[in-house]
Amino acid sequence: MATSDVRGTVRENVLTTTVVLSALGYALVLGTFAGLFPIYPELGRETTDLLSHAIAVVNTIATISLALGWYWIRNGEVDKHRAAMTTSFSLILVFLVLYLTKVGGGGEKAMVGAPDLVYGAYLVMLAIHIVLSVVSVPVVLYALVLGLTHSPAELRNTAHKRIGRIAAGSWILSLTLGVVTYVMLNHVYSAEMRLVSLLV
Please tell me what DSSP assigns to residue 44: -
Q: What is the Cβ-side half-sphere exposure of residue 123, based on CA atoms within 13 angstroms?
A: 10
Give 112's strand partners.
Answer: 190
Fold exhibited by the domain 41-194: Four Helix Bundle (Hemerythrin (Met), subunit A) (1.20.120)
Amino acid at 6: V
Residues 6+ apart with CB under 8 A from 197: 33, 34, 35
> Tens digits of per-residue pLDDT, 138-171?
999 999 999 999 999 999 999 999 999 999 999 9
pLDDT of residue 194: 66
Q: What is the mean pLDDT of the chain?
A: 88
Distances (CA, A) of 143 to 4, 10, 11, 78: 20, 13, 12, 14
Q: Give the pTM.
A: 0.85
Q: Render pLDDT for 30-54 as a digit per residue (tens, 0 to 9).
A: 888 888 888 888 888 888 889 999 9
Ranges of beta strands (E only) in 31-160 are: 108-112
Distances (CA, A) of 112 to 101, 106, 154, 200: 23, 18, 52, 22
What integer pLDDT is reported at residue 198 of this predicted model? 41
Q: What is the pLDDT of residue 1?
A: 52
The confidence score (pLDDT) of residue 140 equals 94
C-alpha span between 21 and 136 (Å, rounded)? 13
Q: What is the mean pLDDT of each run of 10 residues along the chain (200 residues)?
A: 73 92 92 85 87 95 96 95 96 94 81 86 93 93 93 91 93 94 85 55
pLDDT at 8: 79
Neighbour-count burial for 83-98, b at 16+ CB within 10 Å, e otherwise: ebbebbbebbebbbeb
